[in-house]
A and B are shown apart, each in its own frame.
Chain A
Amino acid sequence: MSLALEINKKQLNEDSWEEPYFINMGPQHPSTHGVLRLLLQLEGETIVGCDPIIGQLHRGVEKLAENLNYNQAIVLSDRLDYIASAANNIAFALAFEKLMGLKVPRRARLIRTIVCEMARICNHLLWLATHALDIGAMTVFLYCFRDREWLLNIFEKICGARLTHTYVRVGGVRLDFTQEIIDDLYKFTEEFPNRIPDYETLIDINRIWLKRTKNIAVVSAEEAINLGLTGPCLRGSGVPYDVRKFRPYDAYDEVEFIVPTGKNGDTYDRYRVRMEEMRQSNYIIKQCLDKLPETEGEPILAEGAPDLLMPKRLKEPKPMPVPKKGVVFRGADKPIVPVGEAFAAIESPKGELSVYVVSDGSSNPWRLRIRTPSFVHISAIPELTKGHMIADLVAIIGTLDIVLGDSDR
């Protein structure tokens, strides 16, 4: 809206009056990846102004978490970036564990790393699918969905859910891996690197694809940092920043992997970075699987991890049961969770996802704040689209890899 007002003011002061051509893209548009609304000002097909309007998917996750206990808050995290919900689970769990001072067993950390990387591959496959579809390549879309289906089936075996897993718990994970899952994952890690060339042959050296992605939305390293881009968008500009390397969490300090970076910072480089990341993720999963037998028989939940279940309402209130750590129990005498604050950041598939939690000692977080990559990336759209065409705008939305559930929270 601000843009429209600004232009109107400018127009009124001038003698010659030309009506600016506004177009309202979204919230219901095939390629705004959800309910993003963009107010575009066009000259012909060239974009002169772009004003993203978000909030159509706002559910108040941060506020809702204040009324739920810590394990329940993790359920909300699934609904942020619903394409890679395992990664969000981990961000929440890490913050809460830091707050409670829990030490996660190694087996649980390895399992979490595997799940997180599976989520990354899922996310990148879906990203490639929709990005290619936006640019018009239909077949890549279905190839990617075919392989994503495979991973979702493994997820289903792991935790029973395909999209919103809530697999991670405060202090560990919910269920242990069975041998069947490990076998499935081994099969996947062996086969998946052969699948990537399938997509690459379709678009990698395709002249139309190159024309549509090279030199589109070029971001220099400095600009990328100033815009607050993280994840593959930042690495595409040549900044090798990856939370997994710089502040390792879970089992990332045990595995080795390369952080791929681009050179020019254009759409094509970001595409290359993500393709390489999928290979690296696959490699990480393989390493973690190799390490898993060493931890056979270890618990998957930290000692003193808060209970998942709500206490049953007792028929006779007295004698008062001693509250377990972290259990919803209003009006407890002593703090269930240490009073204080904690911050955790992870490298989610879309960028840096960080959670800041403040506790007042009760069973619920007193305040929860989430920094999501999509929100920041959407704020970069006006900067990136300037001077490009409508067709490029679609490619830019794709390359930033945004999910509106993530941005609106």
Chain B
Amino acid sequence: MIEQLLNLLNIEIVKVILAAVIMVAVTLLHVAYLTYAERKIIARMQQRLGPNRVGPRGLLQPFADMLKLIFKEDVIPKAVDKPTFWVAPFISLVCAGAGVALIPIWKNFVLSNINVGLLFILALSGLGSYGILLAGWSSNSRYALLGGLREGAQVISYEIAMSLALLSVVLMAGSFNLGDIVNAQLNSPFKIYLIPQIIGFFVFMISAVAECNRTPFDLPEAEQELVAGYFTEYSGMRFALFYLAEYAGMIVMSALAVTCFLGGWAGPFDIPYIPFFWFFLKFYFILFCYIWIRATLPRYRYDQVMGLGWKILIPLGLANVFLTAIFKLIF
């Protein structure tokens, strides 16, 4: 009896570990090829070639970069606060990447199906900024400190707007569970929340770009102003971890946008044998938008970002919640 229970437990544990490993591998591959895709797409937009030396069409470039960064010397300046300096990139990466576990890619195809999935992702993204703040602070460098400060300012202006945008989705769906949110969308027009929640989607997408510190909101690392911002003093693999975190953050935010606003796995019709087709189509489209924005827009100034967050996005988000609530009350 006890043995049987243990066996059952073991199998469960093995399953979970296996799933987790697969998830990590898939996420890291996505991160690696997202960098490649970004370089290629931006190169095409800017009339360049992009990476084309390592492997066919430069397809092995991400691995070459990774190897290079791993074998680089990891310089730690004397004046840094070492424990914080060591741990900051990992906080960033873990918080940015862990959200993938909660995204339902297909009906019940989700690593951890918890009831407060949406809240959990918000919490993680909030925590992720600690990595950047601590990196900026512990580096004991003036540029890095300014980068960290900017991140702090940016987080308080965008987390709220993003939460408000997602709150109206929760109001519509009546659940924090991401799978339930997708299921609730099946009844709305085109099986997506985009049309009733157009304001929410707008607010969420801008906040998501800001959340990932991407152009035009890449203030914490603004290379033309602060050299490299919060990771000025980092080198080698630690430096790369911040990049991994940024791209993992993009992946999570895109997946969240697909799940909450674009109907997740649901599509206009079912594609046989390719269950993830619609999810990944939408997902890659949003990732492409991130890259597209980067190639097009200049950078905001620090105080203008705050102004945009507090004066435009948060009122819009609040109004959207209000409208959604009235909508819910009447119908």
Contact A389 to B298, CB < 8 A, known contacts A29-B227, A138-B46? no
Choice from B215, B294, B302 contacting A391 with Cβ under 8 Å: B302
State A202–B142 Cα separation when bound (angstroms): 33
Q: Looking at the complex, which of B24-32, B160-168, B216-224 is the stretch in contact with chain A?
A: B216-224
B225 part of interface (Cβ distance < 8 Å): yes
Complexed CA–CA distance, A368 and B226 (Å): 39
Interface residues of A in 284-333 (CB under 8 A from B): none
B224 & A133 in contact (Cβ 8 Å cutoff): yes
Q: What is the chain A residue whose CB lies nearest that of B215?
A: A136
Asked if A391 contacts B301 (CB within 8 A), the reply is yes
The answer to whether A21 and B301 touch (CB under 8 A), given A143-B47, A390-B225, A394-B225, is no
Most chain B CB atoms below 10 A, which of A29, A132, A143, A203 = A29
Contact B48 A389 (CB under 8 A): no
Q: Which residue of B lies closest to A202 (CB)?
A: B296
Q: How many A-B residue pairs have CB under 8 A?
A: 85
- Check if B298 sits within 8 Å of A30, measured CB to CB: no
Select which of B149, B226, B294, B300 is within 8 A of A138 by beta carbon: B294
A139 interface neighbour in B45, B218, B225, B302, Cβ under 8 Å: B45
Partner of A389, one of B46, B47, B299, B301: B301
Q: How far is the CA of A133 from the CA of B302 in the complex (A)?
A: 17
In contact, A391 and B48 (Cβ under 8 angstroms): no
Q: B122 on the interface (CB 8 Å rule)?
A: no
Chain A at the B interface: SS class: helix
CB neighbors of B among A197-254 (8 A): 202-203, 206, 208-209, 211-212
A76 to B223, CA, bound (A): 33
With A23-B142, A146-B47 already in contact, the answer to whether A137 and B298 are too (CB < 8 A) is yes
Q: Is A282 part of the binding interface, using a Cβ–Cβ cutoff of 8 Å? A: no
User: B304 at the A/B interface (Cβ < 8 Å)?
Assistant: yes
Q: Are A392 and B47 in contact (CB under 8 A)?
A: no
Is A261 in the interface zone, CB < 8 Å from B?
no
On chain A, the residues within 8 Å of B295 by CB distance are 138-139
Q: CA A24 – CA B149 in complex, angstroms?
A: 18
Roughly how many angstroms separate A327 CA and B48 CA in the complex, as a whole number?
A: 48
- B154 to chain A minimum Cβ distance, whole angstroms, is 13
Provide the bound-state CA to CA distance between A393 and B302, in Å: 13
With a CB–CB cut-off of 8 A, which chain B residues contact A23?
A: 142-143, 146
The interface centre, meaning the residue of A139, A209, A391 with most chain B CB atoms within 10 A of its CB, is: A391
- On whether the beta carbons of B47 and A136 are closer than 8 Å, the reply is no
Q: Judge if A277 is at the interface, Cβ distance under 8 Å.
A: no
Closest partner residue, chain A, to B150 (CB atom): A45
Are B224 and A206 in contact (CB-based, < 8 A)? no
B297 with A137: CB separation less than 8 A: yes
Q: How far is the CA of A137 from the CA of B222 in the complex (A)?
A: 12
Q: Is the interface of B mostly helix, strand, loop or mixed?
A: helix
Q: How far is the CB of A267 from chain B (nearest CB, A)?
A: 12
| B297 pairs with A390, CB closer than 8 A | no
Q: Are the C-beta atoms of A389 and B45 separated by less than 8 Å?
A: no
In the bound complex, what is the Cα–Cα distance between A394 and B142 (angstroms)?
17
Binary contact track A123-142/B, C-beta < 8 Å → 1, others 0: 00000000011111111011
Contacts of A164 in B (CB 8 A): none
Q: What 1/0 mask marks residues of chain B from 39 to 62 whose CB sits below 8 Å from any chain A CB? A: 000100111100000000000000
A146 to B45, CA, bound (A): 13
Contact indicator B304/A136 (Cβ below 8 Å): no
Q: How far is the CA of A141 from the CA of B43 in the complex (A)?
A: 12
Query: Chain B contacts of A136 at CB under 8 A?
Result: 215-216, 218, 222, 224, 297-299
What 0/1 readout, one digit per residue, does chain B (74-95) give for beta carbons within 8 Å of chain A? 0000000000000000000000
Q: How large is the interface on B (under 10, 10 to 19, 20 to 34, 35 or more residues)?
A: 20 to 34
Report the separation of the CA atoms of residues A44 and B302 in the bound assembly, to the nearest whole angstrom: 11
B224 partner residues in chain A, CB cutoff 8 A: 30-31, 133-136, 394
Identify which of B143, B150, B294, B297 contacts A208 (C-beta below 8 A): B297
Interchain CB contact under 8 A, B297 and A211: no
Give per-residue flags for B262-273: 1 if the beta carbon is below 8 A from chain A beta carbons, else 0: 000000000000
Is B12 an interface residue, CB under 8 A from the partner? no
Q: Which residues of B contact A393 (CB under 8 A)?
A: 225
A206 to B47, Cβ gap below 8 A? no
Are B297's CB and A206's CB within 8 A?
yes
User: B303, A389: Cβ atoms under 8 Å?
Assistant: yes
Q: Which residues of A contact B146 (CB under 8 A)?
A: 23, 45, 390
B contact residues around A133 at 8 Å (CB): 224
- Note all chain A residues with C-beta closer than 8 A to B298: 132, 135-137, 203, 206, 208-209, 212
Inter-chain contact A142/B142, CB cutoff 8 Å: no
In the complex, what residue of chain A is closest to B43 when comparing beta carbons? A142
**Which residues of the partner chain B approach A146 to less than 8 Å between Cβ atoms?**
47
Chain B residues near A143 (CB-CB < 8 A): 46-47
In chain A, residues 1-57, which have Cβ atoms closer than 8 Å to a Cβ of chain B? Answer: 21-24, 29-31, 44-45
- Give residues 224-259 of B contacting A (CB, 8 Å): 224-227
Chain B residues with Cβ below 8 Å from A390 are 146, 225-226
| Of A31, A134, A211, the contact of B300 (CB 8 Å cutoff) | A211
B48 to chain A, nearest CB (A): 6
- A389 CA / B300 CA spacing, docked (Å): 12
By CB atoms of chain B within 10 A, which of A132, A138, A212 has the most?
A138
A143 shortest CB reach to chain B, Å: 7
- What is the bound-complex CA distance between A124 and B27, given in angstroms? 44
* Cα distance, A325 to B301, chains bound together (Å): 59
- The answer for the CA separation of A29 and B227 in the assembled complex, in Å, is 6
Give the residues in chain B near A142, CB-CB below 8 Å. 46-48
Residues of B with C-beta under 8 A to A137: 296-298
For A203, list chain B residues within 8 Å (CB): 298
Alpha-carbon distance between A203 and B48 when the two chains are bound, in angstroms: 20
Please judge, given known A-B contacts A45-B146, A138-B46, whether A208 and B227 are in contact too, CB under 8 Å.
no
Contact in complex: A391, B46 (CB < 8 Å): no
Q: Which residue of A lies closest to B45 (CB)?
A: A139
Ranked 10 nearest A-B pairs via Cβ: A136-B299, A142-B46, A137-B298, A136-B298, A31-B224, A391-B301, A135-B298, A134-B224, A23-B142, A208-B298
A to B CB contacts below 8 Å, 15 in the list: A45-B146, A135-B299, A136-B222, A136-B224, A137-B296, A138-B295, A139-B46, A139-B295, A141-B46, A143-B46, A212-B300, A390-B225, A391-B299, A392-B301, A394-B225
Query: A136-B215, A139-B45, A389-B301 are known contacts; what are 16 more A-B pairs with Cβ within 8 Å?
Result: A23-B142, A29-B227, A30-B224, A31-B225, A134-B224, A136-B216, A136-B224, A136-B297, A137-B296, A138-B46, A138-B294, A142-B47, A142-B48, A206-B298, A211-B304, A212-B298
Q: Which residues of A line the B interface, CB within 8 A?
A: 21-24, 29-31, 44-45, 132-139, 141-143, 146, 202-203, 206, 208-209, 211-212, 389-394
